Structures are given as structure tokens and as C-alpha cells.
A = this chain, B = another copy of it.
């Protein structure tokens, strides 16, 4: 479904991604982790063309992302994305946040869009908040709306960039629960996250990045039981012990 082949990217002389290659099959859940600044966000943004890259190739569902002839907007409408800071549109009500792209991009009728929105809000447990504005919700609620918003486009896969790291500790689980459910329903997912509990529960594979390189790309068990690289071991030690 997603295939990356020797993707490299640099800002000036600074190498953000070096020769990153990996494959994601339909239904897989990939967790991407690694130290701050290692290029996780950049990698995941390359998948739907939010960040351009200089060399290599990314194919999503048979379409080459880097190809200048690709209709990126169309590609992106089939890939859901959830951001660290939710990025709901603050001037629209929750239900409008869910409907706007359905109507304007997919061309659904407002009624159809509303029906879809309601069922998704139901699913993330927020039917009651439909008429509110994002600023009136807690962080955890906002992130659940953001997930619902992405799902409203009927994406073929979902990208998550640290979806829980801006949340109060209490609210982390309500978001992880939604994600877990999604994974169990067979959604293809790439998640940048440090929630190792989540990784242990649902990941099929874990990718560990350092300094722009994919250092480990293992099955979950292999990674947690015996990460090969020293860097990954150090990282795990730091992140797990407290």
C-alpha cells in the first residue's frame, strides 16, 4: 500500500532524511519512534506529499507522490492525517469541521456529509459536542474529533504524528483507545508516537529512526525483546524506565 524507496531530503546542507526505505502492507500498523529531531514527522509528511523530498520514490496505492504530474490534493484526500496539535479549524463548529472537506473535496451533498459526520462523532463518543467550537473542547476531545474528521474522508490509510504528546496525561488514553479500535478494525496506519504501551498492543512493526535514517525496522516482538542497534536500546531504556 505504501512503499518508500531510498527517500532523501535535505534543507540546504542539513540532511533530514537519508535513504529511507520501507513497505507498509494493507492492514498493517506501523509505529515510528526515535529521538526528537530524528526526522519522524518529516518522514510521515513525505508520505502524503506535505513535505517535498529531493530523491527517492514513494508510492501510495500505486501513485507516485514525488511525481510532479500527480494530483496531490486527490492523493491526500485518500490518506487521513492526524496532527500533534489537532489542527481543527477553530472558526468552524465540530460538525462543520467534519463536513467541509467531504462537501468541497469529495463533492458529497451536505446531507450525506452530515450523516457521515454524525455517525463518526457517535463512534468517537462525541455526538453531544457536534455544535460546539473546537476551543470549547478539551484536548483529548479535540484529538478524537480530528481522527473522526480524517475518517470522514473514507481514507485508505491513516497517518498519525504524535497524536497524544500535546495532551494532559489523563486524556492520553481516550485517544489511544480510539486508535486501538481503529487498528483492530484493520485500518492501515503509520503512527509516530512514544506510547510504547500502544505499540506493544497493536503494532505489527516498529520503525526506529535516528538522525534521518531508519535504523531499525522490525516486527514488534523483535524490537521490544532485542532491539539490534545500541541507539535504539538506549532510547528504549530512557523512555521506558520512569
Contacts and interface: CB of A to CB of B under 8 A. Distances in A.
Nearest to A195: B242
Of the listed residues A165, A198, A239, the one surrounded by the most CB atoms of chain B closer than 10 A to its CB is A239
A241 interface: yes
A238 B173 contact: yes
B173 A194 contact: no
Q: How many copies does the complex hold?
A: 2
A239 to B, nearest CB: 5
A206 to B, nearest CB: 15
A89 interface: no
Interface string A157-171: 000000001001110
Interface string A20-45: 00000000000000011000000000
A170 B242 contact: no
12 contacts: A35-B168, A35-B170, A36-B138, A165-B169, A169-B194, A169-B238, A169-B239, A170-B238, A172-B242, A173-B242, A197-B242, A198-B242
Interface in A87-141: 138
Contacts of A176: 242
Contacts of A169: 165, 194, 238-239
A119 B176 CA distance: 44
A196 to B, nearest CB: 9
Contacts of A35: 168, 170
A235 B170 contact: yes
Nearest to A237: B173
A173 B241 contact: yes
Interface string A221-242: 0000000000000010011011
Nearest to A238: B170
Contacts of A198: 242
A184 B169 CA distance: 26
Contacts of A138: 36
B36 A239 contact: no
Of the listed residues A36, A172, A197, the one surrounded by the most CB atoms of chain B closer than 10 A to its CB is A36
Interface string A33-68: 001100000000000000000000000000000000
